[in-house]
Amino acid sequence: MIVLGFASGSIPFGLILGRAKGIDIREHGSKNIGATNVGRVLGRPLGFLCFALDALKGALPVLAVWFVLVAAHPEQTSLVGMLMPLVAIAAILGHVYSPWVGFRGGKGVATSFGALLAIWPLMTYPALGALVVWIVVLKISRFVSLASMCAALSLPLLLVVRAFWLTDRNSHPADVVLPLLIAVTALAFLVIWKHRGNISRLRAGSEPRIGASKPAL
């Protein structure tokens, strides 16, 4: 299931949508196959479609863990709790290091959102909270990259709030929470690492804001 998660995540929907329009998305804009560059180069509707497809390819393998394992072994809740984050990380790594594009994929934000949203119930609310952080930071700064990094960094804190500070904190054993906390912390560092070029442009004042003019094809 981990291998299937990686395979699902590796599908380069951004490249496929670009090819459908007769262009190689890797040769335009930021040259990234993620939803942000697709939206900047091909227009917002295709950007939203790319985001949805990238999120779906992260969510489906995680949901498969739940439906397949719980149906076969309903008593193995700890196994499911540990395997779901592993499959989620595999799907995210498949997107970030897709073998179909020379192991140079997107930055993993949309796929991470879909994969984490599917880890019900522990990660669903933190994922939605991270989406709120993304929207607020984007609204204030109009930098997609900054919003994505802030959302990723908020995930470990939001998971701690969800697991330990709410009224149902005693319903989540440490052997389920800890793998998720390790996974989302590693994910936050991965997102920051993939945005290191954006960080340099933010510091230099050359990072494009949302709504900037669409680059010529």
- Residue 132 has φ and ψ, to the nearest 5°, of -65, -45
In sign, the C-alpha dihedral spanning 31, 129, 87, 7 is negative
| pTM score above 0.75 | yes
| Closest by CA position to 91, among listed 112, 109, 106, 105 | 112
Nearest-angstrom CA–CA distance, 150 and 128: 13
- The pLDDT value recorded for residue 213 is 54
Other C-beta atoms lying within 10 Å of the C-beta of residue 24: 11
Residue at 125: amino acid letter = Y
List per-residue pLDDT tens for the chain, 217 residues long.
999 999 999 999 999 999 999 999 999 988 899 999 999 999 999 999 999 999 999 999 999 988 888 777 766 666 777 788 899 999 999 999 999 999 988 999 999 999 999 987 788 899 999 999 999 999 999 999 999 999 999 999 999 888 876 555 555 656 678 878 888 999 999 999 999 999 999 999 999 888 665 544 4
- Tokens standing for residue 128: 């939605």
Residue 67: the pLDDT is: 84
